[in-house]
Amino acid sequence: MATTPFHVSLNNLSHVFTDGRIPLSAIEDVSLRVPTGQFLSIIGPSGCGKSTLLRIVGGLLRPSHGEALVSDETPAAAQKHREIGFVFQDPALLPWRNVLSNVRLPLEIGGNGHSHERPTAEGLLELMGLTDFRGYYPHQLSGGMQQRATLARALAIDPSLLLMDEPFGALDEITRSAMRYELLRIWGSTDRRKTVLFVTHSIAEALVLSDRVIVLSGRPGRIVADLDVELERPRTQDIERSPAFLDYSDYLRGLLKDAA
C-alpha cells in the first residue's frame, strides 16, 4: 500500500504520439499529486490530452517522458493488483451477458491482491438500483442504466482508484445531471473511500462532484489551474444555485475560454 500520502503521483509527464504522419504532442510536463480518497476532475478543451492522461494513469499507455505512480507502483502493476477500475463513455458491456453476469465478469476472471472482502455483484446491483434488471441484457437497458451497470462492474474488483473518462457524455441532459448525484451517493457509500480521477467537459459536473478541479490548456495539455472546491458535502441539486457554485463556474468558464 501507499507509503506516501499520495495515491497518484505524476511527475513531469509528457506524451508524444508518433504513429501519425507527424509527431503529435498530446500532454506536456504534467505533474500532479492526488491524495487518497480525493475526487479530482480534469477539464480542458476537446483534444487537449485528457484521455491520454487517464490512459497513462491506468497503465494502458506508457508515457514518452516522466513517470506515473499509483500507490507507489507503476500503473501496470497497480492494474495487475486490481487497484484500478475504469469507466469510459461507452458502456462496453458484453451484449450476450445479462446485467448480473456482466457485473460478475471481473470476479470470474479472478486474480488477487486484495486481502479484504470484495462487494458482491448482487450488493452492487442493489446499490445501483438495478436489482430488478439483473436478468436484462444491455440492449434492454437505457443509457443511464447501462452506465450504472458499467460502474457496478468497475466496482466489483473494489479498486482503490477509479478512472472515469466522460462516463456520462453520451447521456441526455436530464439523465446526465441525475447521474452525478447518483455517483456521489455511491462514492460516499463504499467502505474504503475511493480516489477518483474524473474527466469531463461539464463545469457543473466537475463542481458538483469534486474536491478539486484541474484545468488543462489546449493541446498539448498542460495544467493551467488547480482549484480546490470548497463546497460543503453532502451536495444536493440546490448547490448548483448557490452563489459560491456560480462563482466557481464563472471562474472555470473564464479559464476554459483562455485555455481553448
Interaction between residue 46 and ligand ADP (CB under 6 A) = yes
Crossing angle of the two packed helices 99-109 and 143-155, in degrees rounded to 10: 20
Give me the least distance between CB of 161 and ligand ADP, in Å please. Answer: 19
Asked if 68 and 54 count as a contact pair (C-beta separation under 8 A), the reply is no
From the list 42-50, 126-134, 174-182, 252-260, the region that binds ligand ADP by CB under 6 A is 42-50
From the list 5-13, 28-36, 43-51, 167-175, the region that binds ligand ADP by CB under 6 A is 43-51
Task: List binders of ligand ADP among 208-227 (CB under 6 A).
Answer: 219
Interaction between residue 24 and ligand ADP (CB under 6 A) = yes
- Find, among 151, 161, 135, the residue nearest to 75 by Cα: 161
Interaction between residue 21 and ligand ADP (CB under 6 A) = no
First to last CA, the chain: 38
Partner touching 46 among ligand ADP, Mg ion, none, CB below 5 to 8 Å by kind: ligand ADP
Task: List binders of Mg ion among 37-96 (CB under 5 A).
Answer: 51
Interaction between residue 52 and ligand ADP (CB under 6 A) = yes
Residues in the chain: 260
**Cβ-based nearer residue to ligand ADP, 51 or 195:** 51
Q: Which of 20, 95, 110, 243 is close enough to bind ligand ADP by CB under 6 A?
A: 20
Q: Which of 12, 31, 47, 135 is close enough to bind ligand ADP by CB under 6 A?
A: 47
Interaction between residue 41 and ligand ADP (CB under 6 A) = no
What whole-number distance in Å separates Cα of residue 169 and Cα of residue 181? 15
> What residues line the site for ligand ADP (CB under 6 A)?
17, 19-20, 24, 26, 44, 46-52, 219
